[in-house]
Amino acid sequence: MPRIEPDVSEGAKPEGCESVPEAAALRRALAHGRELGQDLLDWVDLKIQAERMKLQELLNEKLNLAADVALAIGLAGVGVFFVLVALALGLGTWLGHPGWGFLLVGLVFLAVGAAFYLLHPTLKDLRRPALVDEARLSPNAPQGRAYVPPPAEEEADLNPPPGVRTEGVEAGASHPQPGVGGPQ
């Protein structure tokens, strides 16, 4: 927006101002208004920078916490691994061979994983994914299967012309020829 400033040069009288002191007062008021506007803009910029710095500090705290948790989980995972190896070796010694201990620990983990998969409510949706959109299911399609009708142009190619017999035509042949396999 272009600036509109009153003409307060020597000898010119601004509208509504009868004397030069009034014009000087108007000039001072305009200068103070500009300074106030600039101070307000500077204050807004400083507030934005302060909020940005607060957000950066919060983000750094969260990232440091995530790194600490990841380190703790990694160290605990290594510890669990060694405990499981020791358990498998101990069971193997008790059963007569280390392989039996590792087999037993592996089967326990498979059983726990399968139970978790079967009993967890959010994983139930993953067991039977939808193959096609429900709106495209035909009411006469077999239960649980989708029937997607072919487009009209392909359907026309699949049907032989009237009066042509298709018996004796090999599977995969493109089109039955008139007179081939017909009445003799």
Residue 150 located in a structural domain: no
The pLDDT value given to residue 13: 53
Distance between CA atoms of 14 and 9, rounded to whole angstroms? Answer: 9
Residue 118 located in a structural domain: yes
pTM listed for this prediction: 0.41
Distance between CA atoms of 33 and 5, rounded to whole angstroms? Answer: 12
Nearest to 106 by CA among 75, 85, 77: 85
Domain count, the chain: 1
Residue 3 located in a structural domain: no
Distance between CA atoms of 98 and 83, rounded to whole angstroms? Answer: 15
Domain that holds residue 107: 20-125
Distance between CA atoms of 117 and 125, rounded to whole angstroms? Answer: 11
Residue 119 located in a structural domain: yes
pLDDT in tens, the chain (184 residues): 455 555 555 555 555 555 678 888 888 999 999 999 999 999 999 999 999 999 999 999 999 999 999 999 999 999 999 999 999 999 999 999 989 999 999 999 999 988 888 888 776 666 565 555 555 555 555 555 555 665 665 555 566 666 666 666 555 555 555 555 555 4
Residue 4 located in a structural domain: no
